[in-house]
Amino acid sequence: MDRERTQTTPGRALIVEDEPHIRELVALHLSLEGLTCTQTGDGDEALRLAKDGHFDLIVLDLMLPGLDGVTVCRAIRRDSPNAETPILMLTARSEESDKVLGLESGADDYLTKPFGIRELVARARALLRRANAIRAAQAPEHAEVIAVPGLSIDPARRQVRVDDRAVDLTTLEFELLYLLASRRGLVFSREMLLGRVWKDDRHVTERSVDTLIKRIRKKIEPDPENPKFILTVWGAGYKFADADD
């Protein structure tokens, strides 16, 4: 059912639509935009694809065989490498409730059928532009140094200092530490960390998170057995200590 064009293109799109002529039309026009398109007409397969790899855009029909679009959308947002991927929902009916349901489920935009293909391409472009702008704003060169007593993290230089002593971290170690420290006090589940730090690497498990946390603690914590920076939240995940801890 899904078809993938292997070429070096700026991004990947997942097109989920059970009406073949609409699906192929959308795929054709998005590939003209430079996107590599994967297609499916089935909700369950859509979710499997979305959990398996990162896409830059997802076009998702509401009414599908298998899981419906809203269920797929919620599941993608909850737990997949596409938690932040722009999702454009397609709906056959124009009732307000459908639109609201689509947006509440985590879709970024919606189009009511029948739609013009130019309209869809314009919406897709707008979503991709917005995602690029967000990514650029979050890029390390724009990020500020995070400093707490005894520890500073400089994302532009990818440098970590413990009590003014430079500490070498691997790329993964740095990214995990920076993610936690940039949202102090917020609890990240292991699944969330896998999705954000390892992205679409399928060969990692939740154990990989624990192992990496252990390595980071050895490098930055004065007493790795009683960490004061990266705290374990039992049954939930990890967080970077905030002022209340």
Q: Which two tokens stand for residue 8?
A: 């070096």
Minimum distance from residue 93 beta carbon to Ca ion (Å): 11
* Residue with the shortest CB distance to Ca ion: 63
DSSP codes of every residue in 46-83 = HHHHHHHS--SEEEEESS-SSS-HHHHHHHHHHSSTTT
Q: Considering only 54-62, 114-122, 166-174, 235-243, which stretch makes contact with Ca ion by CB under 5 A?
A: 54-62
Minimum distance from residue 34 beta carbon to Ca ion (Å): 26
User: Of 62 and 76, which CB lies nearer to Ca ion in the complex structure?
Assistant: 62
- Residue 233 has φ and ψ, to the nearest 5°, of -110, 105
Q: What DSSP character marks residue 195?
A: I
Is the C-alpha dihedral spanning 89, 138, 222, 229 positive or negative?
negative
Q: Count residues contacting Ca ion (CB under 5 A)?
A: 3
Q: Which two tokens stand for residue 21?
A: 């002529």
Minimum distance from residue 62 beta carbon to Ca ion (Å): 7
Helix (H, G, I), strand (E, B) or coil at 204: coil
Q: Considering only 39-47, 57-65, 110-118, 144-152, which stretch makes contact with Ca ion by CB under 5 A?
A: 57-65
Site for Ca ion in 12-51 (CB under 5 A): 18
Identify which of 149, 150, 204 has the alpha carbon closest to the alpha carbon of residue 176.
204
The verdict on 187 binding Ca ion (CB under 5 A) reads no
Strand partners, 39: 15
Site for Ca ion in 59-78 (CB under 5 A): 61, 63
Q: Considering only 55-63, 70-78, 144-152, 194-202, which stretch makes contact with Ca ion by CB under 5 A?
A: 55-63
Query: Looking at this protein, which amino acid is placed at residue 235?
Result: G
Minimum distance from residue 43 beta carbon to Ca ion (Å): 10
User: Of 43 and 237, which CB lies nearer to Ca ion in the complex structure?
Assistant: 43
Q: Which residues bind Ca ion (CB under 5 A)?
A: 18, 61, 63
